[in-house]
C-alpha cells in the first residue's frame, strides 16, 4: 500500500451523497436522533427515516453519508453508529452551535472533507491538487480519474461516477444560481465559506486570501490535526508546510501567505504557549511544547466558538 493509498483514514471514496450537497441542518438532525450518543442504524431505514427526517429515501442516504464524512458519527457495530465527542460538543442542544448557524461549523465540515478527505476523495483532491486558476467540471474529470487510479489501480470506476462527484463537490461551494426544486435551491452548508465562485458560466475559481469567518481556534484545530498526520514526531513545523503542504490549513482553507502568518503570530496567546511562532534568521516555524498538547484540540474547538 503506497503512501497515497489512504487519506483521512479511508480509502478512495467517490459516492454516497446521492448527488445532494450537505445542507445546513442535516448534521444537527442526525445528532438529534441519538440516545446516549448512540444511533441505531435502523434510524436511516426507509419508512422511519422518511417520516423522521422529512425527506425522500435518497436524501436520507445522503444525510447518513455526510454525517459519517464530517465525523459527526462513526461506525460502532453492525447495528449502530456512535456520535463523536466533537459532534456532541458542537451540536448538542447545550452545545457550541446547537442550531448549526456558526460559520465555524461549516469550516469544521470543510476540514474533514477537503483537509482529511474523509469519504470525500474528490474534495481532498480538488483543494489540494488542482492548481489552475480557473477550471470547468469537464476539465477536472480526466485528472481526477488519473488520481483515483494512483490510489487504487485495480478499482474501475465509470466516468459518470467522477462527473457526478465533481458536480456535487463544486455545487457544495458554488450552488446553481437558478432552476431545480426548492430543496435543491436551499443553500448548501459549505457555500457560506465563499471558497469557490463561478467566474463565468461553467468556469470556477478558488477565492484565496484572508477568511474572515474562520476563527483562530478552528485554524489551530486544523493545524494540530495536520501536524499529527504530516509530522507526528516533530516538535517544529515549517511555515512552508503549513501554508502549502498537501492537506495543510493554508492550502485547504485557501489562505494567502500573509493570512497564514497572521494566524501563526496569534498562536502563542491563543494556546497559552503550547504552540509558538518564530521567525529568526529567515527560519519561519511553529514550535509545540509536547507537555502542553494533551487536550489542546478540544480546547481549540471550544475557542473557535468562544
DSSP state of 14: -
Q: Do residues 44 and 57 touch, judged by C-beta distance below 8 A?
A: no
Number of Cβ atoms within 10 Å of the Cβ of 126: 24
pLDDT values of the chain reduced to their tens digit, one per residue, 306 residues: 333 334 444 478 999 899 999 998 999 999 999 999 999 999 998 788 888 888 888 999 999 999 999 999 999 999 999 999 999 999 999 999 999 999 999 999 999 999 999 999 999 999 999 999 999 999 999 999 999 999 988 888 899 999 999 999 999 999 876 555 555 557 899 999 999 999 999 999 999 999 999 999 999 999 999 999 999 999 999 999 999 999 999 999 999 999 999 999 999 999 999 999 999 988 999 999 999 999 999 999 999 999
* CATH 1.10.10.1420 intervals, the chain: 216-305
Q: Which residues contact 233 (CB under 8 A, 6 or more apart)?
A: none
Pick the CATH number of 216-305 from 1.10.10.1420, 3.10.129.10, 3.30.465.10, 3.20.20.150: 1.10.10.1420
State the alpha helices, DSSP H only, in the chain. Answer: 26-32, 46-53, 57-69, 85-91, 103-110, 121-129, 137-151, 159-173, 182-185, 216-230, 239-244, 249-252, 257-265, 267-270, 296-305
Q: State the pTM of this model.
A: 0.94
Amino acid at each position: 500500500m503506497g503512501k497515497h493509498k489512504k487519506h483521512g483514514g479511508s480509502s478512495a471514496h467517490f459516492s454516497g451523497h446521492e448527488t445532494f450537497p450537505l445542507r445546513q441542518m442535516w448534521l444537527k438532525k442526525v445528532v438529534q436522533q441519538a440516545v446516549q450518543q448512540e444511533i441505531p442504524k435502523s434510524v436511516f431505514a426507509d419508512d422511519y427515516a422518511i417520516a423522521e427526517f422529512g425527506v425522500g429515501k435518497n436524501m436520507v442516504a445522503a444525510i447518513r453519508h455526510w454525517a459519517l464524512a464530517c465525523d459527526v458519527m462513526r461506525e460502532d457495530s453492525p447495528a449502530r453508529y456512535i456520535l463523536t465527542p466533537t459532534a456532541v460538543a458542537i451540536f448538542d442542544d447545550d452545545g457550541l452551535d446547537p442550531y448549526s448557524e456558526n460559520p465555524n461549523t461549516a469550516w469544521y465540515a470543510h476540514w474533514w472533507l477537503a483537509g482529511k478527505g474523509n469519504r470525500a476523495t474528490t474534495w481532498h483532491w480538488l483543494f489540494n491538487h488542482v492548481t489552475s486558476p480557473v477550471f470547468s467540471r469537464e476539465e477536472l474529470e480526466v485528472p481526477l480519474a488519473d488520481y483515483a487510479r494512483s490510489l487504487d489501480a485495480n478499482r474501475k470506476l465509470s466516468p459518470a461516477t467522477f462527473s457526478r462527484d465533481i458536480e456535487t463537490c463544486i455545487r457544495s461551494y458554488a450552488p446553481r444560481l437558478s432552476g431545480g426544486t426548492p430543496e435543491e435551491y436551499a443553500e448548501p452548508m459549505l457555500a457560506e465559506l465563499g471558497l469557490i465562485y463561478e467566474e463565468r458560466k461553467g468556469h470556477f475559481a478558488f477565492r484565496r486570501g484572508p477568511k474572515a469567518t474562520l476563527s483562530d481556534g478552528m485554524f489551530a484545530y486544523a493545524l494540530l490535526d495536520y501536524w499529527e498526520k504530516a509530522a507526528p514526531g516533530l516538535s517544529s513545523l515549517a511555515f512552508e508546510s503549513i501554508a502549502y503542504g498537501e492537506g495543510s490549513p493554508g492550502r485547504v482553507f485557501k489562505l494567502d501567505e500573509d493570512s497564514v502568518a497572521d494566524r501563526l503570530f496569534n498562536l502563542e496567546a491563543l494556546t497559552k504557549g503550547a504552540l509558538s511562532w518564530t521567525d529568526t534568521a529567515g527560519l519561519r516555524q511553529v514550535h509545540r511544547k509536547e507537555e502542553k498538547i494533551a487536550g489542546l484540540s478540544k480546547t481549540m474547538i471550544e475557542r473557535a466558538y468562544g
